[in-house]
Amino acid sequence: MQTLLVTGGAGFIGTNFVHYWRRHHGDDRIIVLDALTYAGVAANVAGLDGVTLVEGDIRDTDLVERLLRDEDVRTLVHFAAESHVDRSISGPDAFVSTNVIGTHSLLKAARTVWLGGDGRGHRFHHVSTDEVYGSLEPEDPAFSETTPYAPNSPYSASKAASDHLVRAYHHTYGLDVTTSNCSNNYGPYQFPEKLIPLFLINCLHGRPLPIYGDGMNVRDWLHVEDHCRGIEKVLEVGEPGETYNIGGGEEVPNLVIIDRICEAVDRAFASDPALAERFPDAPAASGKNSASLKTFVEDRAGHDRRYAIDERKARECLGYEPSRDFETGLAQTLDWYLQNESWWRPLLPPGK
């Protein structure tokens, strides 16, 4: 039995990790530290057996030190981050503050408590993104752990900076750290500002599906539970100081993803007539195609063209591989959102 501190555990990936860990490591205790900003939902983890939610800021170093010391935490899994690229373009300050200064605060606390303590084992796992590597051309090889960093947005730059800090605390101070760089996650509990939940919900309400540029920006798609499995592998057998890329093996253009979303929604309405009563504004409610909602808009600034993950190191060193393809994962995700309208509806902007 051990106690984990999970930062950002009331957000999308953190919530899924907490649920996953409780299912597979039921004897462990989890302390969730979350500031409960717009994308953190206390109800995601409230009431879970063995889980304690602490509302607080990762930049509060004294608080983190107290939690590590008083709860005898030996594993810290760091999800907390500002993560929406569009928001980073319009307001980069919050990204630097949370992602860089916040990560440094956690590292300082871990160094003080763990390296100044009794010498027992510890692990600081830092969850990062493939966006730190920049953008790929169509013929370029996929991102590997040795790909030079070339972040192109304030978001990815802030994550790159935090990655470097984590690495430095291992090489300078001897802190036991690991880092994972993941591809685009999707699945339950994702805040409805990201592509898949946003477009699913817009299809249900007959709202436009805004497609940046020509829609041919390519991403690798990773179901969030597969991501959690990858992190579990890193915690169990990952080597201190190492970085592991975790991908889904689904490199697909955004426009194709959007078409699949539309097709999945249309199939759901065709098989369940009750959906037309719940969502009468959806094109599918009257037998029309959701694809009619597609609208091309001006591309966003600095929009990376292609991401792709080379996950051979994770496969060979950790025994990791994704467990589902995108078609299966998308169907499961759509079903979750249809079954959990009471979760996502309060998160929509007023009047939506």
Which amino acids are annotated catalytic? 130-131, 155
Q: Which residue in the block uniquely carries the two structure tokens 């760091």?
A: 78
**Residue 209 neighbours by CB distance under 10 Å:** 22
Alpha-carbon distance of 97 to 59, in angstroms, equals 8
Pick the closest to residue 99 from 112, 85, 115, 110 (CA basis): 85
Alpha-carbon distance of 8 to 241, in angstroms, equals 22
3-state DSSP call for residue 50?
A: coil
Residue 194 is given by DSSP the state S
Pick the closest to residue 279 from 331, 207, 327 (CA basis): 207
Q: Which amino acid is at 151?
A: P
CA–CA distance from 262 to each of 202, 269, 295, 334 (Å)? 10, 11, 13, 11
Q: Which amino acid is at 209?
A: L
3-state DSSP call for residue 70?
A: helix
What is the separation of C-alpha 56 from the centre of its chain, rounded to a whole number of angstroms?
20
Residue 348 is given by DSSP the state S
* Integer Rg of the chain from CA: 20
